[in-house]
Every structure is written in C-alpha cells, then in structure tokens.
Amino acid sequence: MVMEAHLLRFVERVRSLSDLHDSSGDQLISTEFSLIRQKSLSLKEDYGLTSAAGEIKENVKKNRYRDILPYDQTRVCLTPTTSEYESDYINASFIKGAAKNKMYIATQGPVSSTVVDFWRMIWQHNVKVIIMACREIEMGKKKCEVYWASTTDTSTFGPFTVSTFEELRPNEEVVVRTLVVKYCDEARKVFHFQYTAWPDHGIPDMPDGILGMMELARQKQSNQTDPVVIHCSAGCGRTGVICAVDYVNDLLLTEQIQEDFNIFDLILKLRRQRPSAVQTKEQYGFVFHTVAQMFQKALQVKNRNTETSTSLYINAVLPKASLKSGSLGSFNELSKTRNPPLKPRLSHPLPHTRMNDTYAVVNKPKLQPPSSAPHSITVHYYDNANSEKSNKNALYSAVKPKIRPGSLLPPPTSPVYDRSTTANQRGGLSPKVMDNEGYELLPGELRSMNRDAQPQVPLSRSPSATESQSSTDDDYEYVSSVVRDTNSPFAPGGLGFNCRIKKPKGPRDPPVEWSRAES
C-alpha cells in the first residue's frame, strides 16, 4: 500500500499540472528541463567524464553527429574479429537498468562505415532484441543505414550474413522482424522492433504505440540478462525516452518506487551514462505523460477497477491531444473515450494509390464561339459523360446555338451595344427593350419589314467603316441611319444594324459617245 500512495501522488501531480493553464503547465516542464540542461554541463567535471575515443581522427568519421560522442567511462568496446575490423570503437553507451543485471545499449543509427561494427556489437553481447525508434529516411535526410535484409533477400555485412525470416506489422506504427544472423558456422535469432511513427526531435501523439511495442519486446527478451540495444538516429533523444520508460516499468515490477521518485533525477542518471539522453523538453514532458499513464494502470489493477492484467503497458488512460506541445495531459478520461490510434508520419510520400474511390466536382466554363468564327459550334464536355451513351443519345455532348441572321454580319468598328449576344450564346432570346412610347423594339431584320413602324430615312456612307474593310469587301459600302435613336439597344444607327449595298460597277459618268450629237 505504501508504493500505491507514491504512485497516486505522482499521478495527482501530473493531473494538477494538466489542470493548470496550458502555458503554466508547459512553463513548469520547460523550467525543469532547462535545469537538467544546466546540470548536464557540469556532469563531466563532477564525474570526470571524457570522450577522447570518439575524438580520435580515425573515429570521427564513425560518428553520425560531431557533438554526440560516447563517454569513455560507459562506451561499448568491441573485440577484434578480423584484421580488417580490429578497431574497438563504436558510438554506443551502456546504461544500467533498474532490475538486477538489466542493461541497455544506447547507440546511434549505423552509418555506412559502421554497419559491420554494429553487427560486431550485436554478436559480441549476444543481443536478442533491437529496438529502432526511427525511420531510415526522415524529412528527406538519411537517419539510419539499412542493416537488415528484405524478406526475399540475404544481405552480407563483412563476416556476417543477415536474412529476414519473418516480418509482421501488429499495427500501423510498429514493424516486427525476425532476423537470422550467421557468423562463421553459428546462427542466431534476433528480434528487430521498428517504431515508425515517432518524428525526429518530436513526440508521438499518444504513448500507446510505444508502450505496446515495449511489451512485445519484453516478451521476446524474457528473463535473459543480455543487453537490449536501443537506437534512433543520434542515439540520445528518442533512445533516452525509451530507456527511461522501460526503466520505470522495471521499478514498478520490482516494487522499487520510493517516495523520492521523480523524473528529474532519472533523466540526470541516464545523462551520466549517455550524453543528451531525452533531448528536448517535449520529449521530457512525454516521459511524464507515459509514466503517469503506467502508474494509473497499475493503480487500476490493484483496485480491480479494470480487467486484471500483468502488463503495465497496455490499456492505460491517455493524455490529451495537447501533448505534442509539451503540456501535460489530463487523466480524467477513461479508456473508452480514447482518441483514434495514431497514424504514422511519413518522411517520404506513399506509393501511388488507386483513385477509383476518389471523386471531384469540376465546374467547367462554357466555351464561347469566337467573334471571327460565327459558324463554329460550342461543344460542352461533362465529367460523367459516357462515350458509348453519348454516341447513342447525344443530348449533352454537343450544343449548337441558334445562328441568327445578325450573327452573320462582320463585327463593326464602332461600339456595338448588342445585348442579345449573351442570350444567343445560351440559345435563348435577348431581353425585351421598350422605346420611349412603350413599344417593344424589334430586331433589325424584322423592323425593316414593318415599314409602318419605322420611318423612311435617307442613307449615308460611313467612311470609317469602309476604310476598315479588306480589299475583298471593296465591292460593298456600309450605310447607317442619319437619325440617332439613343434609346435603341442596338448600334447608334436607327436601323439597328449595318447594311451593305452593292457598289455600281464601271464609271459613274455616262460614256462619251452618249453625249455626242447624232448626225
């Protein structure tokens, strides 16, 4: 009952932080993490930590990042295998676990020149479980070399031969591979767990995927005392989070949670063994959320409020969605109100998918016939038109507007106020226009037929219209009414249209012989 009180106190602390204003809770986490960073600077002096091996010239190229070097006091030293691979350096660190004889190896994702060294380390320490907390490529950058084989191939790395016996995906976030590694005449089985939904320098939306993967890894590790290899890209941020979570889980199983338990001291303990473990304040806050969720589950099991389970990883109450910003979540929500499972973030696009179930609505503008081609046909295409049906019942594939006599005339050079153009394009009639006396104005060709309604007026030549015509129209002249009807919706000419009259051919004066007197 004493440990349960400690668990409840921690859960209540996280709940109280989450009940504060988001900025206040985040500020407390940020302040605590800033203090961790300050204390980390003095760790080297306080504990005499050095990183001379990683700074040697021949080892510099083996480091993925120049500022993440293992401490000489905790680094993994390799034993020589062949004359070609006799260097003992690898960017990896031992981290002591909470349980007796429990050990982690926190390492960087292998680079091209250290893949063989990576398998040397796996073989030397008889590693059974590898946990990979990153993708091979993230945000367009290579984060880790592929040190395994596909399910159909076998890959060779120096003296090691690696093949994938089985590849499973228990959910969309985790890939579980069963690898068979051969060295000389011996073969070993290694379980490879890859978590694919953890962004670099960020945190997952929910801890369920991480906790579920860790439970599967714990089952494969069983009671073996061989170290578990954990790596991401640099081997510090995401790697440190997983080490911290599994460390606390061992404290729970062995009932070692004391009154003075706190995440602050735990992260400092990890950083004394692996530099920059838990690299960002968001990751630091994620540890709080995940540990509180584990404690909540442990309390539920003790009180028998939920189904009894030996696993402390699964079915715990989730923090709220603001977890991504580093603020702490609320634990008042029950598991039945969970958010949907997290979908993996992809640093590269998915392969081309079928679009059979994808629909789009496109509003296509109606094509208007150009003024220079009055005889053209406007064709309207429809997204849902079927080629076979359109041939049988061509109701929507083509629309031919009515060609009115006025549309056969060439465009005038003077402004035209013909409001029937838009209506003609729609196949409809122009709006009715009334004159001053309340009568409807007729189109030009009909008005010329109704001589009683239209006064006879002399015609005059329009020089500007004639000059604008090409040589093929020299036989015609344009005339318009001298009477200006400003109320007409048509051209300023009273006739409402331009009229071309055939020019007389030959000289206008009578021949000379006509004027001679007959003898």
pLDDT digits (tens, 9 = 90+) for 252-269: 999 899 888 999 999 999
Average pLDDT for runs of 10 along the chain of length 519? 86 81 77 94 91 95 96 95 88 94 96 96 97 94 94 92 95 95 96 91 86 94 93 96 96 90 95 96 94 90 58 44 41 37 36 44 50 44 41 46 49 46 44 48 47 45 44 49 50 50 60 60
Domain count, the chain: 3
User: Is 232 tagged catalytic?
Assistant: yes
Shared-domain flag, residues 373 and 495: no
Q: Is residue 64 part of a domain?
A: yes
DSSP result, 336-359:
GGPPPPPPPP-SSPPPP---TT--
Quote the pLDDT of residue 120: 97
Quote the pLDDT of residue 15: 85
Any long-range contacts for 426-433 (C-beta under 8 Å, 24+ apart)?
Answer: 426/401, 427/399, 427/401, 427/402, 430/489, 433/488, 433/489
Quote the pLDDT of residue 378: 42
Report the mean per-residue pLDDT for the chain. Answer: 73
Shared-domain flag, residues 331 and 220: yes
Quote the pLDDT of residue 79: 92
- 438-459: pLDDT as tens digits: 444 545 444 444 444 444 444 4
- Label the pairing between strands 228-231 and 459-461: unpaired
Of the residues 134, 144, 232, 243, which is catalytic? 232
CA 168, distance to chain mean position in Å, is 25
Q: 347: exposed, middle or buried (C-beta count within 10 Å: 0-12, 13-18, 19+)?
A: middle
Q: Is residue 354 part of a domain?
A: no
* Residue at a domain's end among 400, 424, 454: 400
Shared-domain flag, residues 85 and 172: yes
Shared-domain flag, residues 161 and 187: yes
Shared-domain flag, residues 123 and 221: yes
Shared-domain flag, residues 417 and 468: yes
Shared-domain flag, residues 127 and 260: yes
Quote the pLDDT of residue 461: 45
Shared-domain flag, residues 413 and 394: no
Look up the domain containing 367 and give its range.
359-400
b/e per residue 83-110 (b: at least 16 CB within 10 A) = eeeebebbbbbbbebbbeebebbbbbbb
